[in-house]
Structure 1
Amino acid sequence: MNAMTDKLTPPNDIQHSLLRFITAGSVDDGKSTLIGRLLYDSKGIFADQLAAVSRAKHKRTVGDTIDLSLLTDGLEAEREQGITIDVAYRYFATPRRKFIIADTPGHEQYTRNMVTGASTADAVVILVDVSKVKLREDGGVDLLTQTKRHSTIAHLLQIEHVIVAVNKMDLVKYDQEVYERIVAEYRAFAQTLGIKDVTAIPMSALVGDNVVERSEQMPWYQGPTLIELLESLTVYDESHAAPFRFPVQLVARHNGHEANDFRGYMGRIESGNVSVGDKLVVQPSGQEATVKEILTFDGPLQTAVAGQSITLLLDEYLDISRGDVLASAAQPATLLKQVTADVCWLSEEPLDLRRKYWIKHGTRQTSAKVKTIDSLLDINTQERRSADGLKLNDIARISLAVQQPLAADAYADIRATGAFILIDEVTHQTVAAGMIRLDA
Structure 2
Amino acid sequence: MPDSGTGGTPATDAIIARYSARARAALAGDAPRNDGGDGDSCFGAAAYRAEDEVPEAALRASLGCGNPLAVADLRPGETVLDLGSGGGLDVLLSARRVGPSGTAYGLDASEDMLALARANAGKAGVGNARFLHGRIEHVPLDDATVDVVISNCVINLAADKARVLAEAFRVLRPGGRFGVSDIVAEAGLDPGMRAAVEKDAGCPAGTLTVEEYRRHLLAAGFTTATVTANHQAAPGLHSAIVQAAKPASPPGTLIRPMRSEDAARVLEIYQAGLDTGDASFETSAPSWERFDRARLPGHRYVITDAETGTVLGWIAASAVSDRCVYAGVVEHSVYVHPGHHGRGLASALLRAFIDSTETAGIWTVQSGVFPDNAASLRLHARAGFRTVGTRERIGRHHGRWRDVVLLERRSPDRADACTAAGGQGSRSTTPLPVETSSGTET
TM-score for both structures, normalised by structure 1: 0.29
The structure with the largest helix share of the pair is 2
The structure with the largest strand share of the pair is 1
TM-score for both structures, normalised by structure 2: 0.29
